Amino acid sequence: MSIITRTWRVAALGFALATVAGGALAADYTLSVNTALAQQDPLYKGLEEFKKNVEVRSGGKMAVRLFPGSQLGKDEDVLEQARAGAGVAVVVDGGRLAVFVKEFGVLGGPYLAQGYDGIRKVVTSPMFDQWSDKLRKASGHQVLSFNWWQGERHLLTNKPVKGPEDLAGIRMRTPGAPVWMETIRAMGATPTPMGWSEVYTGLQQKVIDGVEAQHPASFGARLYEVTNRVTKTGHINLITGLVTSAAWFDKLPPEQQTILKEEALKAGDSASRATQASLADFEKQMKEKGVTIEEIDVTPFRKATAPVYEKLGYAELHKDVEKLLQN
C-alpha cells in the first residue's frame, strides 16, 4: 500500500470515527474498537465492561467507542489503520497477526490447549510477551491483552460427521490464515476463506457446505437457520486479543497506558468466564431450533491434524508451548 493511499484511508477513517463518535471528542483520547462479534456475544459484553471501566478510571480523559458487526471494516483493514497510527483497536486472532510475527500463528493450531485456563496460561506467559514485543517492532501493533476466549470451534454442517473421511469434498468456511487453512485441510475438508458476514448467505446459496465456529458466534449469526448439525470437534481453541496502534499508544500518558492494559486484561477474563458459562445454554437454544448437537470421539481428528505444526514450521514452538502447559 502506498503512503498516499494509507494516508487517505487514515484520514477517511478519522473523519468517519469523529462523525460517529460525537461525544467522544470531548475526551483527551479516544479509542475506537472494532469487532466482528454481535452485541449479544459474551465477549461483546466484556468490551462494554472494558469501555465503562476505562472511562470511569480515567476520569473521562479516555473515551472508548465500540463498533460491533465489523462496522469499521474487516479485521485486516483495521489492523492496517492501526499500523498507520490511528486510534483504533480490533479483537483479532493470532492467525491474522502471524503475517507479521510467525509465532502468533501457533495459537490457532489444532488441539493446542484445553479450554480457557489452558490457553490463558500461554497468552499471559513471558514467552507471549516476547512475541508481543516482536510485533511492536515488526508491524507497529500494541497488544493490550490477549485473553479474550471465544470458545472451542466445532463443525456446522447439514450431514453427519464422524471422522475425517466424512468431510471429503465438503467446502468448509474458515478464516484465511495458513494455520486455520491447513487444520481444516488436514481434517479432510476443503478450506474456503470467506468473511464472517458472508457465511450465512454462503451456506444458504450453497457456495459453501459447512463452517467451523464457536457456539456464541454461530448462534449470534443465526446459522441454525441454514445448518442442522453441530459436530463437537473442538479442533481450535479460539483465543483472541485486543490489539491497537503502538504509535497511538505511545503518545498516551503512562497512567492511561496502564489503565488500558489492566482493564483489557480484567475485562478479557470476565468475558471469557462468561463465555464458558454460556456454552451449555447456547447448545440448549440450538437444540430448540432443531439442531442436532453431536459428541464424537475426536481422536481421528487429533491424529489427522498432528502434522500441521511441522508442515507450517511450528514443530519446535509447539514443543515449547506444550512444556509451558505442563509446568
Q: Which three cell numbers stand for residue 48?
A: 462494554
**25 and 129 together in one domain:** yes
d(CA 282, CA 219): 7
**How far apart are the C-alpha atoms of 166 and 160, rounded to whole Å?**
8
Pairing of strands 141-157, 210-213: antiparallel
For the segment 296-308, the average pLDDT, to the nearest whole number, is: 97
Mean pLDDT of the residues in the chain: 92
Q: Are 216 and 257 in a shared domain?
A: no
Mean pLDDT to the nearest integer, 141-150: 97
Cβ proximity of 43 and 37 under 8 Å: yes
pLDDT at 25: 54
Query: Is the predicted pLDDT of residue 277 greater than 70, yes or no?
Result: yes
Does residue 31 sit in the same domain as residue 165? no
pLDDT of residue 23: 47
In DSSP notation, 130-173 reads HHHHHHHHHH-EEEEEEEEEEEEEEEEESS--SSGGGGTT-EEE
Whether residue 22 has pLDDT greater than 80: no
DSSP class of residue 88 equals E
The answer, yes or no, to whether residue 326 has pLDDT greater than 80, is yes
Length of the chain: 327
In 3D space, the residue among 212, 151, 223, 159 whose CA is nearest the CA of residue 185 turns out to be: 212
Residues 316 and 214 in one domain: yes
Across 120-124, 127-131, 175-179, 321-325, least confident range? 175-179
pLDDT at residue 14 is higher than 60:
no
Q: How many Cβ atoms are within 10 Å of 315's Cβ, its own excluded?
A: 12
Number of domains the chain contains: 2
pLDDT, average across residues 70-97: 94
d(CA 123, CA 77): 24
pLDDT band at 275 (very low <50, low <70, confident <90, very high): very high
Report the CATH number that the domain containing residue 19 is assigned in CATH.
3.40.190.170
Confidence bin at 11 (pLDDT 50/70/90): very low
Contact by Cβ (8 Å): 141, 250: no
Q: What's the Cα-to-Cα distance from 54 to each of 62, 158, 223, rounded to whole Å?
A: 7, 44, 34
| Domain enclosing residue 241, as ranges | 3-95+110-150+237-280
The average pLDDT across 91-98 equals 93
Q: How far apart are CA 49 and CA 184, in angstroms?
A: 34
Q: pLDDT tens, 113-136?
A: 989 999 999 999 999 999 999 999
What type of residue sits at position 78?
V
- Asked if residue 259 and residue 220 are part of one domain, the reply reads no
φ and ψ of 191, to 5 deg: -65, 135
Residues 246 and 210 in one domain: no
Confidence of residue 20 (pLDDT cuts 50, 70, 90): very low
With DSSP H G I counted as helix, E B as strand and the rest as coil, what are the percentages for the chain, rounded to 5?
55, 20, 25
